[in-house]
Amino acid sequence: MRVPVYPDDLKRNRGFKSLAKKLQTHWCGPSSVSLLFVQDVLAKGFGYRDYRDLEQSSNLRMAHELPPSEADTRLAIKSAIHIALGSEFHADLAKLERLVGALPISSLVAFNRMQVACDIIQSFQKTGQVPPLTAKQLRLIKRVIDVSGNLRDQAIFACMLADMRRGEFLMATVQGGNAVYRRKFTSINAWESLPSSCGAAVDQYLKSSRVPEGGYLFHSTHDSKKPMSPLTLTKICASWAEKAGIEAGLLSPHSIRKSGQDLAIKFALSLGHVPKMSTRAYIGDLLKPPVR
């Protein structure tokens, strides 16, 4: 686990520096400590070797990393404090819990950006007023996902474009070494193979992730026996939007699925083909880079 830290977080009285100062002021060890000591401890809690490593990494920040949950971050900070103090730790555990629990972690750039993006997406989802994505925007999203090299994200995106609903691919499982799902809004409640148009991306992901038999195709990062949560999926979409330079509210599993299918239908109609027989066949062509 590593918490993304940005240069703005290292400015005086901002982000990381503010958190470190609060920890130093209310330090629960047997004696007072220097700010540098606290910065090293906090950096280790954030997943870095020390403060210097964190500082150097902030200048090379992969600006669109997903931050871990606030709960996991606080747990890691508490663990770092325990390790730093070792046998000298005699503090009241309840006091430590209150201290770390009161840290304004959401003030960090990574958490702030993610929360704003998620709020925008959820607001659009509630009102249903989501403008369709263009073919250019879909290509941008595909490009940033491909560049990331994240096979899981590539498989998720492929499922969306294959006209699969969020609940369908999040609840998909592995049976007999293959990914299967139950289609919604049909009278048949049987497991079936994923659409062929997303097969290659899903197969590649399966080979690298080694999802166990009966396991969820896209499982929770905290519990492999549980499916990925809708909130985590929303955060993933928000990270795609930021990387692609697209307004966060435009990007959701529904908007990607709907936009991809709408564009495929229009493309099929322009060629005089029957949409229902052609939509999935044209998805791949839609996302190919335009010929120059």
Task: Write the single-letter amino acid at 265.
Answer: I
- Contact 269/275 with Cβ under 8 angstroms? yes
Per residue of the chain (292 residues), give pLDDT as tens.
788 888 888 888 888 899 999 988 888 766 778 999 999 999 999 999 999 998 888 876 554 566 777 888 888 998 898 888 776 555 567 778 888 888 888 888 877 766 655 555 555 555 555 567 888 888 888 889 998 899 999 999 999 888 888 899 999 999 988 899 998 877 667 888 998 888 889 999 998 988 888 899 999 887 778 999 888 888 888 888 888 888 766 777 888 887 776 655 444 444 444 444 444 444 555 555 544 4
Would you say residue 292 lies in a domain? no
Strand runs (DSSP E) across the chain, as ranges?
A: 173-175, 178-181, 192-193
Q: 3-state DSSP call for residue 173?
A: strand
- Within this chain, do residues 137 and 228 fall inside the same structural domain, yes or no? yes
Residue in this structure with the two tokens 């009102």, named with its chain if needed: 127
Residue where a domain stops, chosen among 107, 130, 159: 107
Q: Is 122 exposed, middle or buried (0-12, 13-18, 19+ CB in 10 A)?
A: middle
Would you say residue 291 lies in a domain? no
- Within this chain, do residues 60 and 175 fall inside the same structural domain, yes or no? no
Would you say residue 72 lies in a domain? yes
Would you say residue 198 lies in a domain? yes
- Within this chain, do residues 24 and 132 fall inside the same structural domain, yes or no? no
Would you say residue 2 lies in a domain? no
What 149-154 contacts at long range (C-beta under 8 Å, 24+ apart), as own/partner pairs, is 151/201, 151/204, 151/205, 151/208, 151/209, 152/205, 152/209, 152/218, 153/236, 153/240, 154/201, 154/204, 154/205
pLDDT of residue 269: 44
pLDDT of residue 66: 67
**Distance of alpha carbon 100 from alpha carbon 81, whole angstroms:** 10
Would you say residue 247 lies in a domain? yes
What pTM does this model have?
Answer: 0.56
Residue where a domain stops, chosen among 107, 125, 159: 107
- Within this chain, do residues 54 and 154 fall inside the same structural domain, yes or no? no
- Within this chain, do residues 101 and 192 fall inside the same structural domain, yes or no? no
pLDDT of residue 64: 52
**For residue 139, which of 266, 243, 288 has the smallest C-alpha distance?**
288
Structural domain including 170 reads: 114-286
Query: How does DSSP assign 183-208, residue by residue?
Result: -SSSS----EEPPGGGHHHHHHHHHH
- Within this chain, do residues 166 and 256 fall inside the same structural domain, yes or no? yes
**Distance of alpha carbon 230 from alpha carbon 156, whole angstroms:** 13
- Within this chain, do residues 19 and 35 fall inside the same structural domain, yes or no? yes
- Within this chain, do residues 259 and 127 fall inside the same structural domain, yes or no? yes
Residue where a domain stops, chosen among 54, 78, 107: 107
- Within this chain, do residues 144 and 210 fall inside the same structural domain, yes or no? yes
Q: How many domains does the chain have?
A: 2
**Distance of alpha carbon 201 from alpha carbon 157, whole angstroms:** 9
What's the CATH code of the domain at 162?
1.10.443.10
**For residue 222, which of 94, 46, 2, 71 has the smallest C-alpha distance?**
71
Would you say residue 122 lies in a domain? yes
- Within this chain, do residues 52 and 100 fall inside the same structural domain, yes or no? yes
pLDDT of residue 123: 55
- Within this chain, do residues 150 and 206 fall inside the same structural domain, yes or no? yes
- Within this chain, do residues 249 and 135 fall inside the same structural domain, yes or no? yes
In this structure, the strands spanning 173-175 and 178-181 are antiparallel
- The contacts of residue 148 (CB under 8 Å, 6+ apart) are 243
Would you say residue 219 lies in a domain? yes
